Amino acid sequence: MARELRGFGGKAVPVEGDVFVRSSCQRVVAATIEALGRIDIFVSNPSRNIRGSILEYDADAFDKVIQATLVSGFHMGQLVARHMVERGGGGKIIFISSVHVHIPFARSAAYNAGKAGLNHLSFTIANELTPHRINVNVIEPGWIDTPGEHEEFGTEVIQKMGPTLPWGRFGSPTDIGKATVFLASDDADYITGTSLLVDGGYRMRGAVE
């Protein structure tokens, strides 16, 4: 990825860390500022989903999913927000949530709860950072064709399901990337504290005549 960005003439400095651990988050933010001088755009997309029936769901697994989908967003969001405020305000913070916020999918209690919490956390951050003119928004992807989905459901199932979705296909990482670029741009200057559902109509699936 860094090599690809450099190929476009940009500056890219990979910074390795574990966003599930507070001390590691601090190192990631500090190393990024040291390498680039400042942070103007932050996109938060750490996640983990361990599926299972609520009657049999392991308590440790629940904690791990909440840590991945919600707590890591708090750590990185807070640290980046502090930097943006300290350097004089302005900036874009974008959290990647999920259509799960709207649909209580079975066997995903922890993930559903974590993403719903992430939305409200994001809106609260947006509220508090408004005086500093820091835009904070959420993107809610629908069913996206990623390696993880192939691993979870199998490629054959993914290929069969795509044409049955409202838009006739799965979403792609590019779809989410374009939405992210928009929210990170000056065109979204007057947008903060809101969520953008990028799901090809998935939420409306089943709502047919």
**For the segment 42-82, what is each residue's pLDDT rounded down to a tens digit?**
999 988 999 999 999 999 999 999 999 999 999 999 999 99
Report the percent of the chain where pLDDT is more than 70: 99
Task: Tokens for 172, please give them.
Answer: 């792609």
Q: Is 169 exposed, middle or buried (0-12, 13-18, 19+ CB in 10 A)?
A: middle
Per-residue pLDDT, 4: 81
Report the percent of the chain where pLDDT is more than 90: 88
The dihedrals phi and psi of 203, each to the nearest 5 degrees, come to -60, -30
| 3-class SS of residue 93 | strand
- Exposure pattern of 29-47 as b/e (b: 16+ CB <10 Å)? beebeeeeeebeebbbebb
Residues annotated as part of the active site: 98, 111, 115
Domains and CATH numbers, the chain: 43-204 (3.40.50.720)
- Exposure pattern of 87-114 as b/e (b: 16+ CB <10 Å)? eeeebbbbbbbbbbbbeeeeebbbbbbb
pLDDT tens, position by position, 115-161: 999 999 999 999 999 999 999 999 999 999 999 899 989 999 999 99
Per-residue pLDDT, 206: 78
- DSSP, res 204: G
